[in-house]
Amino acid sequence: MSHILIVDDSPSQVLGLQRILEKMGHQVSAAEDGAAGVQAAKDLLPDLILMDVVMPNLNGFQATRAISREPTTAHIPVILVTTKDQETDKVWGMRQGAKAYVTKPFSESELQASINAFLSPEA
């Protein structure tokens, strides 16, 4: 079982992601915006982070950059899960340190494949 942090300001999105992750057998924590997500990443050191982009305080691009550049959290893969579907958004997100980019609305199988790509089978 892996520990996954969801960073999203939409309670309904968090709940939907949480249901999928728990069905996959993962432990889930959540943060309501980018700033809280960066702090939670430092405090919890999750195995993976699912990050929304459009959020108050720090947006997902800024939070991903902060997490990927912080030595204590740089090893944690960040998957951006967002409605921003332009190619420039995807390129920018990857340049900030994201390991994958999933566009909302997503299929459960697409999300699971992205998550499994970054978690070892033993996790």
pTM: predicted TM-score of the whole model, two decimal places: 0.96
Contact between 80 and 53 (Cβ < 8 Å): yes
User: Is position 49 within any domain?
Assistant: yes
User: Is position 37 within any domain?
Assistant: yes
User: Is position 79 within any domain?
Assistant: yes
User: Is position 122 within any domain?
Assistant: no
Contact between 119 and 2 (Cβ < 8 Å): yes
User: Is position 121 within any domain?
Assistant: no
User: Is position 29 within any domain?
Assistant: yes
- Residue range 6-56, pLDDT digits in tens: 999 999 999 999 999 999 999 999 999 999 999 999 999 999 999 999 999
CATH number at residue 69: 3.40.50.2300
Instruction: State both tokens at 38.
Output: 């960066």
Structural domain range at position 57: 3-116
User: Is position 83 within any domain?
Assistant: yes
- List C-alpha distances in Å: 16 to 4, 19, 66: 14, 5, 26
Crossing angle of helices 34-44/60-69, nearest 10°? 30
User: Is position 82 within any domain?
Assistant: yes
Number of domains the chain contains: 1
- Mean pLDDT, the chain, whole residue set: 95
In which band, very low, low, confident or very high, does the pLDDT at 1 lie, cut at 50, 70 and 90?
A: confident
How far apart (Å, rounded) are the C-alpha atoms in residues 31 and 69? 19
